[in-house]
Amino acid sequence: MNVTPARVALVPDRWLLLAACLLAPAGLLITRAVSLEDTPRGLDGDVLRQAAYLAASLAAMTAVSRLDYRLLRTLAPQIFALALLALLVVLVLGSHQYGARRWIGVGGFTVQPSEFAKLAVVIAGAAFAADREPGGRTAFASLALFGATIALVVVEPDLGTGIVLGLAWVAIATTWGVSWRFVGTLAVLGLSLFPLTLAVAVPDYQRERLAVFLDPGRDPLGSGFTLRQVEVAFGTGGLTGRGFGGASSALEGVATRTSDFAFAQLGEFAGAAGTIAVIALFAVIAWRGYGVAARAPDRFGRLLATGLTTVIVLQAAMHIAVNLRLFPATGIPLPFISAGGSALLVTFVAVGVLESIAAHRLPGPRESGRAFPG
């Protein structure tokens, strides 16, 4: 299947790009406001570093969007093998932070392989399914592909990323055409396995977090206090927020306030106006991303776009749910916004791939800005 696009626009999907580019500066503002509390003047290292990550990520996105996404289909096995290897390396050599082994040092940087694994497993899953018809056996095989990755991520432990990848499989399988019965059975099975997984595979600290989530008063280690701080941060943020001016924050002393609690920090600084805007922008990404999938020229493109959109948006939903105290605290960054180079780069590369798929999309009956054909 070799479809030549009608024309390659400079920005194949401008709504998608716009949403991504509106979200990213919020992360810089948060990092800057937090650093202002400590160093009242000038830009400190954290802000400059995050700005450099952002610039690199934008460059990577632009480059990737110019490439033909079908290249990924041929490289899928290699990409997947590399990602699994990196996950194994991090388990053996990784450095501990906040009670988990998620990072490896490369030169002066620390890299979080589970971020790259998200991308790799979606590419591999899409490439696998594109060549095969959805049936019981093939569905199981693709599930195994995801399952291996999820297992490695969960033992780090990074339960949040594991759940996001599980949902990405559900989305890809659904679009692929796996029967509802199969997906539904697995969903029920997954939900019933969840408590068991918690009991067996989940480390004490995460179980403790769950217990704290259910009863913030009981916490001996301070997570309950952190949850209280998060609630107060949202509360003092109110409708319009307290601004990014560097005044003292309710999240003072929370080490992960620019990463795992970025949404709460945003809620304090930018208020409900900011949080609703961020959620709306992720809704735009969901709508346009699944739209790119709907109009993709081939099955690989469609499944890839579905998986990438799901990974970005559901990770965001998970982060927001954790911050809003709807889900137990698992350290998961907010795409585009949380501080951290690996996550930012991976997210923008995913957007670049979506743009590349969009560049090859089937012409609709009317040349319109609508996401879905028809």
223, 137, 125, 102: which is closest to 175 by C-alpha?
Answer: 125
What DSSP designation does 335 have? T
Give 66 or 370: the residue with its C-beta nearer to other proteins. Answer: 370
- 103 makes contact with other proteins (CB under 8 A): no
Alpha carbons 79 and 120: distance in angstroms, whole number: 6
Quick count: other Cβ atoms within 10 Å of Cβ 21? 16
CB of 72 to other proteins, least distance (A): 20
162 vs 291 by CB, closer to other proteins? 291
The span from the CA of 365 to the CA of 107, in Å, is 51
CB of 62 to other proteins, least distance (A): 26
> 139 or 171: whose CB is closer to other proteins?
171
| Sites for other proteins among residues 273-332 (CB under 8 A) | 275-276, 279-280, 282-283, 286-287, 290-291, 293-294, 302, 306, 310, 313-314, 317, 320-321, 324-326
Q: How many residues bind other proteins (CB under 8 A)?
A: 57
CB nearer other proteins, residue 201 or residue 321:
321
Burial 220-249 (b: 16+ CB within 10 A, else e): eeebbebbebbbebbeebeeebbebebeeb
How many Å apart are CA 205 and CA 211, to the nearest integer? Answer: 10
Alpha carbons 358 and 285: distance in angstroms, whole number: 13
Please tell me whether residue 94 binds other proteins under the rule CB under 8 A: no
DSSP letters, 228-241, are: HHHHHHHHHHTTT-
Per-residue binding string, other proteins, 225-244, x by CB under 8 A, is x--xx-xxxxxxxxx-----
Which residues 163-182 are close enough to bind other proteins by CB under 8 A? 171, 174-175, 177
Residue type, 289: G
Residue from the set 249, 259, 330, 356 that interacts with other proteins by CB under 8 A: 249
Shortest spacing between CB 53 and other proteins, in angstroms? 25
Alpha carbons 152 and 90: distance in angstroms, whole number: 10
> Which lies closer to other proteins via its Cβ, residue 199 or residue 367?
367
The per-residue DSSP string of 246-315 comes to ----TTTT-TTTTTTTHHHHHHHHHHHHHHHHHHHHHHHHHHHHHHHHHT-SSHHHHHHHHHHHHHHHHH
Helix/strand/coil for 185: helix
Nearest to residue 146, comparing CAs of 164, 125, 163? 125
272 makes contact with other proteins (CB under 8 A): yes
Alpha helices in the chain (DSSP H): 14-38, 45-66, 71-93, 113-130, 136-154, 159-176, 180-200, 204-214, 223-237, 262-294, 299-323, 341-359
Using rule CB under 8 A, residue 184 touches other proteins: no
The stretch near other proteins (CB under 8 A) out of 3-11, 21-29, 107-115, 269-277 is 269-277
In the complex, least distance from residue 230 CB atom to other proteins, rounded to whole angstroms: 9
Window 108-137: contact mask with other proteins (x via CB under 8 A): ------------------------------
Pick the closer one to other proteins by CB: 63 or 326: 326
Token readout for 20 is 């991504």
CB of 243 to other proteins, least distance (A): 12
Footprint of other proteins (CB under 8 A): 171, 174-175, 177, 219, 222, 224-225, 228-229, 231-239, 247-250, 252-253, 267-268, 271-272, 275-276, 279-280, 282-283, 286-287, 290-291, 293-294, 302, 306, 310, 313-314, 317, 320-321, 324-326, 365, 371-374
